[in-house]
Amino acid sequence: MHIPSPVPHKRARIEIIPLIDIMFFLLASFMMVSLSQTHMKGIKVQLPQATTAPPNELNRPVSIRVGAGNAVSFDGQIVNDDEVLPRLFRLHEANAQIKVSISAEGMARHGDVIAILDKARRAGIEKVGYQIRAASGGPAGPPAPGAPPPPAPPR
């Protein structure tokens, strides 16, 4: 005599998704191990050398520094005020994509710096940058995280 069970009978089945995950993990592991064991060997080749220097001069920005008393210098060479605009025109003619970097000393007047910027714009130079440095002395903001503490004031 056969007595039926109150628990429904389920057929056993194999779950394939966890099996696929394990297989991909093993495949990736074996690939990484095999790649780390491969030693690439090559042939030493003597490549030809260029005879001219790369054109870094065209991409380097021209540094214009404005000092106290409207003393203007181009890349460290002092230029008179009446020579600034013609020199900017020549730079723009030589390279239409010229970049200019303007900086000022602490005692330079703001109007002198703006006059140099205006001359650069009149010459057709569109790429103008400013060199900004933190002021020495005066009130300081909060120190940056991880920065050393400021020195104690002299007594």
CATH number of domain containing 109? 3.30.420.270
Helix (H/G/I), strand (E/B), else coil: 146? coil
Which carries the bigger pLDDT value, residue 49 or residue 124? 124
Instruction: Output the average pLDDT for the chain.
Output: 80
pLDDT band per the 50, 70, 90 thresholds, residue 118: very high
Q: Identify whether 4 is part of a domain.
A: no
Average pLDDT estimate for 91-95 = 87
Question: Residue 55: its pLDDT value, please?
Answer: 62
The Cα–Cα gap between 86 and 80 comes to: 11
Q: Identify whether 142 is part of a domain.
A: no
Question: Residue 29: its pLDDT value, please?
Answer: 94
For residue 106, what are the domain limits?
A: 62-130
Q: Identify whether 40 is part of a domain.
A: no
Q: Which of 108, 110, 120 is nearest to 74 (CA)?
A: 120
Please give the tally of structural domains in the chain.
1
Helix (H/G/I), strand (E/B), else coil: 28? helix
The Cα–Cα gap between 146 and 121 comes to: 41
The alpha-helical segments, DSSP class H, found in 37-155 are 81-94, 110-122
Question: Residue 25: its pLDDT value, please?
Answer: 95
Q: Identify whether 100 is part of a domain.
A: yes
Pairing of strands 99-104, 62-66: parallel
Q: Identify whether 105 is part of a domain.
A: yes
Average pLDDT estimate for 126-149 = 64
Does the predicted model carry a pTM greater than 0.75?
no
pLDDT band per the 50, 70, 90 thresholds, residue 148: low
Question: Residue 145: its pLDDT value, please?
Answer: 53
Q: Identify whether 138 is part of a domain.
A: no
Q: Identify whether 82 is part of a domain.
A: yes
Q: Identify whether 97 is part of a domain.
A: yes
